Structure 1
Amino acid sequence: MLNVTFRQQLPRVVHLRVGSLQAKLAPLGKLRSLRLAGTLVQGKGLAKLQGLTDLRELELSRSRVDDSGLVEVGALRGLVSLRLGYVEISDSGLANLAKLTKLERLELNSTDISDEGLKQVGNLTTLRELYLNHARFTDEGLAALKPLQKLEKLEMFRTRATNAGAVSIAELKSLKVLKLDYTSVDDKGLEALQALTGLQELSLDTTNITEAGARTLAGMKSLRALNLYHTLVSEKALQELHAALPECRIVYDRDSSLPNRRSK
């Protein structure tokens, strides 16, 4: 049972991490951040959140939330950040997020989202950060993200993205951070990404980037951080990159290009 002192302080709580929604949340009307990661919360149990009108950040990763739970989440109109990694949701369930017109950060890592789901994500035009790692969508789905012109950070490592997907990503002109590790993007894809003139951080771990790609990267003068670990870039090309991008921190290991270290 909550002691008297803590109960008196509840109205002033703005950040909370709990193990379940068994407790009454009514006294927490000013709550702005709620973490329910790894809990058993699911479905209509999330209806208890509707009184939290000041809620801005909600984490439901690794919980039992499904599509029915997204109906309740979609009613939290003030959400700015939503984390849904490793949960059992579908493409159709994402349609329930359409009314989150203030959403800036969305995490969908390791969910069963396909190209149809990315069409729903493409409607969330206020997004600034999007995390799509370990997903099964294809380049067709990436084309649906073109309306996200405010997007500044995109993570999509270990996905099916190819050079065709890179062409679509190049349409996201506000991108500053892009992570394409363990994808099929290669030198040709980098040619398209040159259009991202504000890109500051690019991660290409375990991609088929070679000297040709390094020459393309040398022209991307806005870069400040570059990951070329497990790529096919030579030491000579690396030296040329350092000369061309003196302010860029480059992650590289000559031996990481060996076949036994590049397994996906």
Structure 2
Amino acid sequence: LMYLWVKANADFKKKVIDLPANDSLRIIASSFVKPSDMEEHYDFAAADEKTFKKLSNNYRIILPLATESPALKVNLYNRNAYTTKALEELSAIKEQIITLNLSKMPVKDAELKTIAQFINLRHLNLNFTDITGEGLKQLAPLKYLQSISLAGSKVSYNNLQQLAAIPSLKQVAVWNTGLKDTEIAQLGKAHKGIQFITGFKDDGKPIKLNPPQLKYNSFVIRNSLSADSLSLRHPIRDVNIYYTIDGSDPDSLSPLFKKGIAFTKNATIKFKAYKTGWISSDIVTADLFKSAYKADSIAVLSTIATAYHNKITTLINGQLGGTDVNSDRWLGLQGNMDIELFFNKPVVLSSVTFHSMAVPLFGKRPPEVIEIWGGVNKSQMQLLGTVKPQITPGENRVSFLMAIDCKLKSKNISYLKAKTKATGIFLLDEIFFN
């Protein structure tokens, strides 16, 4: 929506109703400004609450369309975790689903038969799925279907003719499908009640660059981290990437990111791409975490959550899990926790930092208290530090990364023990020692 508005010269005074009826900006903006008295009312019953909760998980998010509405919207995530069963299980709420988002999932034509059972479906997103279009005829029973997105799929002109069997259909997204402009024009003439969205046309105006791409957004520094280790790239050739580490936003006068640069301390790096004749990109960031020491061994004396039962050495291997909650780099500790850490040679520590992910909506949150005990051995421990992690107000409904830092009384340490008081699942991917 913002892209189209900027492309249209970012006119603050222009009204949505003043745009042409087939204008992409008007079509998308209209969904945000629809009057409340035009909200659809549904005559089907709400889904059973137990069924609703059982079907919701980390990769299949099911939410009500609105407060007290029986209608549900379903989003599936993580292509690698997707199975046909994930779709088939939704038959338990087939009457309540009105919006289904399967974008970038490996959905095949055969699975459209399952989708056709969601009899009240209004909006279906199949962008960049593996469908060929041969099975679109199976969607004919969806008498309420209003929009279907097929961008990035292998649908053909003949496949799309099958959609005529759905009289309620008003909008079809077909950009990046390989369809010719002449074919899309013919479809528009043959099916005047359907708006075929074809994407953007080059009008000669400067185009905004994509942001620089990072494989991971957080890294561990032992001694130093080279520029190559960040694996920073850009899909467009001859782009210059500038960066800052002082918290300010980069511009074309900031340092140029290039080989030979090394980072040695905690920092948040901001990157921005520039190219002559283009609009500069949005900013992307990478967090760097210094860990001067590495524990030689580790033991976890607490319950590990079944879904996150990965190797405990993931906490001291210098590899972060990123934002993918299903990554095998995350360890989930359930309830009160005891972690023992051993150093073959004594080290002088002044802080211990726990890198964590919080997903409060699903009971994954930091513990109430973390205590750090340590000494030259188990029998000579003393309390070195305590921290009470806090979740910032307003972050209680989203997932986010946290670095929980516990300051210590500086002391020679060979043995360290972290103890917590907790009720949920504490997700950890690394512990830093400085």
TM-score, normalising length: structure 1: 0.48
Structure with the greater alpha carbon radius of gyration: 2
TM-score, normalising length: structure 2: 0.31
Bigger share in strand: 2
